[in-house]
Amino acid sequence: MFTGIVTDVGRVIDVAPAEAGIRAVIESRYPADGIAIGASIACSGVCLTVTACEPTDAGGARFAVDISPETLDRSSLGGWSPGKRVNLERSLTLGDELGGHIVTGHIDGIVELLERTDEGEMARFAFRAPPALSRFIAEKGSVALDGTSLTVNAVTGNDFTVMLIPHTLTVTTWGEARPGDAVNLEVDMMARYVARLQEASAPAQTQA
């Protein structure tokens, strides 16, 4: 589990084909001695398992993750290449502050960044979601975009907007985001379960 509060911005330094999917190596400022093999790290919002880790000369860590074909189909990770900057978050531990909202790291799909409007030091971003996912997005509700917990400002059809404060623009990859970017979306867990309960409780259709 995660909270959508980004704690580091890593850099992809290698991407290579694996037996199934791809293997990526990411460099971060996390201390290597604090990352266990098998640990979960959210990378651009996707929960990935550390398969190898070594320290860097700068005191950080260089860790490897395997990315499955299913994850490549549902997320933007198939477009990763060396130099790509990615939002990172370590998994929750007991006693951690829940500063964002409950995020699983299981990406529902990709949204397109339509427009960026800078308003002073803040920035408003407009996105378009696939119709199958837009029904889970509500005004003043929560979404996780590239691993960042954000509040939805407005919804119009399949389009929605969020406002990012200067701190978020500085400590995440959002400062460099531009229209046309493919962004990983995880809808709010509660919205998903409410929709499923509504479907399950709907009266069964009968044939005439």
Spans in the chain with pLDDT lower than 50:
206, 208
- pLDDT score recorded for residue 208: 47
Looking at the structure, do residues 117 and 149 belong to the same domain, yes or no? Answer: yes
**Tens-place pLDDT, residues 146-185:** 999 999 999 999 999 999 999 999 999 999 999 999 999 9
- pLDDT score recorded for residue 97: 75
Report if residue 100 sits inside a domain. Answer: no
- pLDDT score recorded for residue 205: 52
Which pTM was predicted? 0.91
**Tens-place pLDDT, residues 1-11:** 899 999 999 99
Q: Which of 28, 60, 90 delimits the end of a domain?
A: 90
Q: How many CB atoms lie within 10 A of CB 174?
A: 23
DSSP class per residue in the chain: -B-S---EEEEEEEEEE-SSSEEEEEEESS-GGG--TT-EEEETTEEEEEEEEEE-TTS-EEEEEEE-HHHHHHSSGGG--TT-EEEEEEPP-TT----S--B-S---EEEEEEEEEEETTEEEEEEE--HHHHTT--TT-EEEETTEEEEEEEEETTEEEEEE-HHHHHHSGGGG--TT-EEEEEE-HHHHHHHHHHHHHSPPP---
Range of the domain at 118: 109-197
- pLDDT score recorded for residue 98: 76
Looking at the structure, do residues 115 and 193 belong to the same domain, yes or no? Answer: yes
Report if residue 19 sits inside a domain. Answer: yes
- pLDDT score recorded for residue 152: 97
Looking at the structure, do residues 125 and 84 belong to the same domain, yes or no? Answer: no
Looking at the structure, do residues 121 and 42 belong to the same domain, yes or no? Answer: no
- pLDDT score recorded for residue 186: 97
CATH of the domain at 146: 2.40.30.20
- pLDDT score recorded for residue 190: 76
